[in-house]
Amino acid sequence: MTQALLSLDRISLSYGDIDVLRDVSLDVMPGEFVSILGPSGAGKSTIFKLLTGAVAARSGEIRFAGRPLASDDKPFAFMPQRDALMPWRRIIDNTTLGLEVQGMSRKQARKQVEPLFEEFGLGGFEQHYPHALSGGMRQRAALLRTVVQDRPVLLLDEPFGALDALTRNQMQIWLEAMWLKHRWTIILITHDVREAVMLSDRIHLLSPRPARVEQTIAVPLLRPRFSHPTVRTEAAVIETSILGSLLSPDNQEQEGPTP
């Protein structure tokens, strides 16, 4: 049996007197596309903060490749909700930023990034500034900046949430195609049930705060999913089931600040 690449084992975390996570356990297999889905304020983004070392758990253990995750381990590349492109840097230099932060020279970083521009649909825009790009292109540039860091796991925090519906759908189709080609290990945070179902191998469904993993849902749909007419009908059944869980009286949002 394949060993999990990443495991969270009974993780609990509080902000002051607010319990955010309580005994959260989940795993991610190598090359798997996993979504974390749950009500607003449940602590989805807090899980990413734990993984990147921005906050520390009160109890529990995080394991990576079978051993405890050390504070100096950096196996994650993080893409935030907004593209976070710097308006004064050309696209080529926005995409190299993560490599430069790691200590690589800008010249070497450019050599590493340039061959990927065509594949990410950005060929010819290397010398443009972010304001010249569409929303979808900006998100592809942000994902390129994340991918080129060559980390074992990509953390995507609602990467398409700010896009209009048509562009979001186009980006979802593009992301699935790229994942099928490269088989990155991806953890996606999303509020969008349809997005989770259409992109994921498995979905970890969080309860309201203090969050726990209420269900782990395998998504047994054919790929590529967006091109199969029958998949849409099957996906709708799964979406309805998940929505029923999210909207049940025992799974309603609690008031309080969003972690």
Residue 131 has a pLDDT of 96
Question: Domains along the chain?
Answer: 1-75+155-227+241-259 (3.40.50.300), 86-151 (no CATH)
Average pLDDT per run of 10 along the chain, which is 259 residues long? Answer: 91 92 96 94 92 93 93 89 93 96 94 96 96 95 95 95 91 96 96 94 94 94 89 91 78 49
Output the pLDDT for position 129. Answer: 97
Q: What is the pTM for the complete model shown? A: 0.92
> What local confidence, expressed as pLDDT, does residue 258 receive?
47
Per residue, the 3-state secondary structure of the chain, as one string, reads CCCCCEEEEEEEEEECCEEEEEEEEEEECCCCEEEEECCCCCCHHHHHHHHHCCCCCCEEEEEECCEECCCCCCCEEEECCCCCCCCCCCHHHHHCHHHHHCCCCHHHHHHHHHHHCCCCCCCCCCCCCHHHCCHHHHHHHHHHHHHCCCCCEEEEECCCCCCCHHHHHHHHHHHHHHHHHHCCEEEEEECCHHHHHHHCCEEEEECCCCECEEEEEECCCCCCHHHCHHHHHHHHHHHHHHHHHHCCHHHCCCCCCCC
In this prediction, residue 252 carries a pLDDT of: 56
Model pLDDT, residue 74: 86
